[in-house]
Amino acid sequence: MIVKIIQKGKEYIEEGFSDDKMLHVIQRSKAEIIAPCGGMKKCGKCLIYVEGCTQAVTEDEKRLLGIENLQNGLRLACFIKPEEGMVAEIPDSNAKNKIITKSNIAMDKFNPAIGITKIRAIKPHLENQVADLTNIENNTHLKIDKNNLPLLKEITFALEDSSHEPTLISFFNKITGVEHKKNGHFHGVAVDIGTTTIAVYIYDLKNGNFTGVISQMNDQKQFGADVISRINYATTEKNGISILNKVLIDQLNEMISEAGEKFNIRKDDVYMVSLAGNTTMMHFLMGLDPINIGKMPFTPVSTDMHDFPAYQLGLDINKFGHALCLPSVSAYVGADIVAGLLASGIYKGKDIRLLVDIGTNGEMVLGNEDRLISCSTAAGPAFEGANIRFGTGGISGAIDTMKIVDGDVVFTTIDDMDPVGICGSGIVDAVAMMLENDIIDETGRFYDEDELEVSEKLMERIHELDNMKAFRITKGISVTQKDIREIQNAKAALAAGITTLIKKYGINVNDISNIYLAGGFGNYINISSAIKIGLLPRVPEAKIIASGNTAGAGASMCLLSYTYIELAEKIKKRVEYIELTTDPGFTNEYIDNMIF
């Protein structure tokens, strides 16, 4: 069956199969579609306009679409099977995503593992018929990898083309490349591969100076908002692992190329890439099978640090460039957390501190120089706008803050654009606001009309939507009873994880000197609202620090200093991991934390 997909005026022709859904067909094309639940028929986000469809709208599809989308002629791609001649158009979205790239690096060392050294070799003659390899070795203190065939094949040309003054590329003082360096430029890239976003940081490796950063939404988002959805796609769809690997590598190459154009850097001038991400993202990066991450007993292929020639990963930089994949702790405490530990510094000193990365998984580490313990909780994608009726990511027009002033709701949107939905920080503010003003009770239930003691303006905002109570923020955007339950479950998982770590460590919450919030959500969230709903411990707000992109900061530190590469390996081995699914106290903590 041949179907046509239209997005932003571009047309893609794809073949559909009998066991396909239109979502699968779109995912195989070069079009992009939002599908936070990965096609599990839970989120209602994979919206399309469709022509040539004879399939009726089911009750489940109606429930997820909502009345307004139905009236506008929209369907869900995860419900519809392809039909011959079908045309699917993906609604246009010009919203710009707001991605946190700020990374606070406390660098006290600059000694990159990658190096370039220009040498002066002798010109062989009849009285001194020295081999090219020996000629290089005799004129440098660096060791050469004599078993590196691609390197050996380059030596003669590099010597002759440089008039016997070649440039040696080394990694940890071992020669890994030789070339005639034409312009003297020497750059490196640090990458934070987030489930939702990717940030690429460019540095000059001659002096450690920061050049710039670019960021994008992770193109894998069309395969699901969370890692479990993507693991499911990778293991159930034909060539799923290869597809997800290619999508990621292609995007990284495009971002490095874009950075090169923006900062006037050729790809041949990039010699090292330092990469951090959660364990699943690191598997997709390396093309490893993540199937066992998604099922008990949660065993990854590897949690080690890996150093590859960059071309082996498919990264399009200097042909002698290196790709350093930072180590993870476990299946659900990844290299992004190890990088975050480097950046936050909680691995050193006597003060007990907590690092929390709030995303689709809530990853956290508690400790000091004597002990570090960690865990991960399945918070789900609610804090990133998924599974929320009018939820959206951190895009232009997303409602991001909210409060009540003079008896009515006042809100702001990202970039001051007209509201298009509500993002994670906005939904946390909304729930806190409704709690504080007795619109919902501590169980999350909407108060009945005869129980309410609120202003007339607030009373008018309470209405019925899709057969449930809801609170209207603005025309077309409301917070429903189901949304509150989604946030309730997510915050209970996060809070229970934190409480469990505190008890395992044998301290109380007041013994924690600081709580560092990592990532985009942690940077934008209203601390007061997070404490109000029980997402964060009830401690003085001054103790809670929004730390920016700690994963990007840690990856940058490893790019700029081999000392931090060695330290990352040591930290990984020090962190104790607690598996909450088998911890008898976690379930009780989760139940207790369901109450706001």
pLDDT the model gives residue 543: 96
- What angle (nearest 5°) sits at the alpha carbon of residue 316, between those of residues 311 and 321? 55
Mean pLDDT, range 11-30, rounded to an integer: 88
Could you say which DSSP state residue 542 is in? G
pLDDT at 127: 82
Amino acid 520: pLDDT:
75
Minimum mean pLDDT range among 10-24, 324-338, 464-478: 10-24
pLDDT bin (cut points 50, 70, 90) of residue 2 is very high
Q: Would the pLDDT of 105 be above 70?
A: no
Nearest Cα to 539, choosing from 522, 514, 561?
A: 514
Q: Which of 547, 140, 489, 183 is nearest to 341 (CA)?
A: 547
pLDDT at 102: 66
- Cα separation of 489 and 588, whole Å? 14
pLDDT class of 100 with cuts at 50, 70, 90: low
Which of 217-221, 287-291, 468-472, 477-481 comes out lowest in average pLDDT? 217-221
pLDDT at 294: 93
In this structure, the strands spanning 143-144 and 174-179 are parallel
- Average pLDDT, stretch 287-312? 96
State how beta strands 468-474 and 477-480 pair.
antiparallel
Compute the distance between CA of residue 143 and CA of residue 136 in angstroms, rounded to an integer: 10
pLDDT band at 460 (very low <50, low <70, confident <90, very high): very high
Q: Is it the case that residue 94 has pLDDT exceeding 90?
A: no
Name 361's Cβ contacts closer than 8 Å, sequence gap at least 6. 226, 227, 278, 332, 376, 377, 378, 379
pLDDT at 38 over 90: no
Q: What is the mean pLDDT of the segment spanning 201-220?
A: 93
d(CA 330, CA 206): 35
Point out the least confidently predicted range of 67-71, 217-221, 576-580. 67-71
Q: How does residue 97 score in pLDDT terms, banded at 50, 70 and 90?
A: low
For residue 519, the model assigns a pLDDT of 81
- Comparing CA positions, the residue from 330, 342, 334, 308 lying closest to residue 566 is 342
- pLDDT greater than 80 at residue 68: no
Q: Is the confidence at residue 302, as pLDDT, over 90?
A: yes
Rounded Cα gap, residues 396 and 113, in angstroms: 40
φ, ψ for residue 170, nearest 5 deg: -130, 155
> Token pair for residue 494?
């996060």
Asked whether residue 324 carries a pLDDT value surpassing 90, the answer given is yes
Report yes or no: 88 and 50 within 8 Å, Cβ to Cβ. yes
Residue with more model confidence, 560 or 108 = 560
pLDDT digits (tens, 9 = 90+) for 477-523: 999 999 999 999 999 999 999 999 999 999 999 999 999 999 877 77
Quote the crossing angle between the two packed helices 240-263 and 227-236, to the nearest 10°.
Answer: 120
Q: Which of 49-58, 148-157, 349-358, 386-395 has the lowest mean pLDDT?
A: 386-395
pTM of the model: 0.86
| Contact between residue 64 and residue 44 where contact means Cβ atoms under 8 Å apart | yes
How many whole angstroms separate alpha carbon 485 and alpha carbon 64? 16
Residues 278-303, mean pLDDT to the nearest whole number: 97
pLDDT at residue 291, rounded to an integer: 96
Evaluate if residue 306 carries a pLDDT over 90. Answer: yes
Q: What pLDDT is stored for residue 189 in this prediction?
A: 97
Q: Which region among 70-79, 80-89, 99-108, 538-547 has the lowest average model confidence (pLDDT)?
A: 99-108
Q: Which two tokens stand for residue 74?
A: 């929209």
More confident residue, 265 or 380: 265
Q: In order of start, what are the domains of the chain with their CATH numbers?
A: 2-89 (3.10.20.30), 114-179 (3.10.20.880), 187-325 (3.30.420.480), 339-381+487-592 (3.30.420.40), 383-478 (no CATH)
Q: What is the pLDDT of residues 225-234, one digit of tens each?
A: 889 999 999 9
When pLDDT is averaged across residues 208-233 and rounded to a whole number, the result is 91
Binning pLDDT at 50, 70 and 90, where does residue 36 land?
confident
* Band (385; pLDDT cuts 50, 70, 90): confident
Write down the pLDDT at residue 274.
98
Q: What is the pLDDT of residue 584?
A: 86
Is the Cα torsion angle 404, 406, 408, 410 positive or negative in sign? negative
Does residue 107 carry a pLDDT above 70?
no
Q: Model confidence over 234-277: pLDDT tens digits?
A: 999 989 999 999 999 999 999 999 999 999 999 999 999 999 99
What is the structure's pLDDT at 98? Answer: 59
